[in-house]
Chain A
Amino acid sequence: MAAGTLIGFAQAARYAARPRQIRELMHALKRLETEISYGQTPLPEALAKVGGALAEPLRRIFLRASARMAERREATAEACWTEAVETVWPDTAMRAGEKEALLRLGASLGYSDRVDQLKHVRLAMVHLEAEEAAAREEQRKYEKMCRSLGVLGAALVVILMV
């Protein structure tokens, strides 16, 4: 009974966490945009700065990418970013849509001029905004349902077993 309830609550928490993480990611990109346009901070430092202000697990994506850029001589910024996103992704509540937006951003990261970089960051943000709307809609629909389904499902199993 307890296990079933927990599973239901965990699933519900994922629905609640997804829009929250997307929102945080958008704030992070906004800060990255500022670092690129006004600070002209080199990318590894900019990512470390932005990542430092974030909560787990998003923090790890930025810090990992930054660390890899600083230490690995051969890798391009794109490779470092992709590797960081792929590694940390299972720990986030986000889905394929958001991941695609981030990977697409990575393809141009650090390899074009300022105007172009800002365009790509904004594009990723628009993409994330759309995903966020969808995530909120899902949260509204399924969050409560998951919770009650967990409890009811567990009750059903208990009843059947008895």
Chain B
Amino acid sequence: MRLAQLYEWLPDALCGVLDRLPGPVREQLEEIRVRQDRPLEVVYGTESAFVTPEGAMTDDPDAAWRPDQGLCRTLLERITRHSLYAVEEELRSGFITVSGGHRIGLAGRVVLENGSVRRLRDIAGFNVRIARERIGCSAPVMPAIVDPAARTIRHTLIVSPPQQGKTTLLRDVARAVSAGDWRHPSAAGWRGRKVGVVDERSEIAACENGVPTFDLGPRCDVLDACPKAEGMMMLIRSMSPEVIAVDEIGRPEDAAALREALHAGVRVVATAHASGIEDVLSRPVLRELAAEGLFRVYVILSRTGGRVTHRIVTAEEVLAGRLGRQAIRSGAAPRDAPSAMAPRLAAGSGAGVPRAEADAARQIPARGGNHG
């Protein structure tokens, strides 16, 4: 149980309170929010509540247990292993990942150097995000993203707002691809593919000393704590991946690396923060990638009543422009943008499809030669 693993990093007083939480809450626990001298809050399922010293849920902040300065210092010392100096890089990015893949976000006073963030001090806010592994959660999605012609998967973008299970799904897709768990009728007998994972936040694989602690299947190589764009290039150069899995893309350099991967004949599964396809099309970098037709399948996650549901949108549907035009209007673009974008979208689809097909064609003979 990964929660027990998490307890190693938390002060006893906090563990005591968490232990007294009602069972169902503990089962669904997603975030533990510790704020110095303010009420302890937990987020579970789709709800959140303050916690009393007895471990009961309450909406009244005054009745809640308040972690003091001593507890926050102990917590910080525990998660940094008494070595703040050794995690400066993490402090700059605002979170520390502990073993088990749990990410602890930090808030405090920022120290600047030449105008950019050097580190955090006086840390008084912690957000402990509990990582969960759901082996097999990609099963309903796999048939939609398998590419029978190329005997691999299509370029896929998993889209959802924060906290809806993007990383969990990405992790399981990586596992399924590397283990050959295709769940597609025509995929019987295919082997798994070599998967390269660029794990910038150590959340996908939760590596300890370079070895993944989550199940990522037998054919997975993980670049732990590596910047995404650089990591994708490194993998392509050195590890000959057939599929690359990467979390939370959205910067221009990510797009460049994704295009590079495409030309190298590598399939990509990525995730992005967005509430739906409309949002994807209103984010500059993602819109560009969508217009180029780079991603062939979009998986849109949403959560209702504690259950994650997904919707599949293909590139053709996006490129048909129906959704695209809507998005541009909602994205507060200049008035003349829709008509200017529409031809580009159409042109993108024309250029994108043959490229993907050429890709597939290139891969099939190579496989045949290897195995046949």
Residues of A participating in the B interface, judged by any CB pair closer than 8 Å = 36, 40-44, 46, 69, 73-77, 80, 109-114, 116-117
Residues of B close to A40: CB separation below 8 A = 83, 85-86
Q: With A40-B86, A44-B81, A111-B82 given, can you name 10 additional A-B contacts, CB distance below 8 Å? A: A40-B83, A43-B81, A69-B82, A73-B11, A75-B74, A110-B84, A112-B84, A113-B85, A113-B119, A114-B88
Measured CA separation A49–B221 after assembly (Å): 32
Expressed in whole angstroms, the minimum distance between the Cβ of A107 and any Cβ of chain B is: 12
Query: Which residue from chain B places its CB closest to the CB of A73 in the assembled complex?
Result: B12
Residues of A close to B12: CB separation below 8 A = 73-74
Question: Which of B74, B78, B82, B119 is the one whose CB lies under 8 Å from A43?
Answer: B82
Question: Which of B74, B84, B119 is the one whose CB lies under 8 Å from A74?
Answer: B74
Instruction: Say yes or no: is B73 at the interface (Cβ < 8 Å to chain A).
Output: yes
Residues of B close to A74: CB separation below 8 A = 11-12, 74
**Chain B, 1-58, CB within 8 A of any chain A CB:** 8, 11-12
- Do B85 and A77 have beta carbons less than 8 Å apart? no
Instruction: Say yes or no: is B77 at the interface (Cβ < 8 Å to chain A).
Output: yes
Expressed in whole angstroms, the minimum distance between the Cβ of B92 and any Cβ of chain A is: 10
Interface string of B194-220 (1 = CB under 8 A from A): 000000000000000000000000000
- Do B78 and A73 have beta carbons less than 8 Å apart? yes
- Do B85 and A112 have beta carbons less than 8 Å apart? yes
Residues of B close to A42: CB separation below 8 A = 81-83, 86
Total interface residues on B, CB under 8 Å, equals 17
Residues of B participating in the A interface, judged by any CB pair closer than 8 Å = 8, 11-12, 73-74, 77-78, 80-86, 88, 91, 119
Query: Which residue from chain A places its CB closest to the CB of B11 in the assembled complex?
Result: A74
Q: How many A-B residue pairs have CB under 8 A?
A: 55
Expressed in whole angstroms, the minimum distance between the Cβ of B106 and any Cβ of chain A is: 14
Measured CA separation A40–B91 after assembly (Å): 14
Query: Which residue from chain A places its CB closest to the CB of B71 in the assembled complex?
Result: A74
Query: Which residue from chain A places its CB closest to the CB of B77 in the assembled complex?
Result: A76
Measured CA separation A110–B88 after assembly (Å): 12
Question: Which of A77, A113, A114, A116 is the one whose CB lies under 8 Å from B82?
Answer: A77
Measured CA separation A43–B81 after assembly (Å): 7
Measured CA separation A148–B268 after assembly (Å): 84
Residues of A close to B77: CB separation below 8 A = 76-77, 110-111
Ranked 7 nearest A-B pairs via Cβ: A110-B82, A77-B82, A114-B85, A43-B82, A42-B83, A42-B81, A40-B86
Measured CA separation A136–B119 after assembly (Å): 43
Measured CA separation A69–B86 after assembly (Å): 16
Expressed in whole angstroms, the minimum distance between the Cβ of B196 and any Cβ of chain A is: 27
- Do A36 and B81 have beta carbons less than 8 Å apart? no
Measured CA separation A74–B8 after assembly (Å): 11
- Do A111 and B84 have beta carbons less than 8 Å apart? yes
23 interchain pairs, CB-CB under 8 A: A36-B85, A41-B83, A42-B81, A42-B82, A42-B83, A43-B81, A43-B82, A43-B83, A44-B81, A46-B83, A73-B8, A73-B11, A74-B74, A76-B73, A76-B74, A76-B77, A77-B82, A109-B82, A110-B80, A111-B84, A113-B91, A113-B119, A116-B85
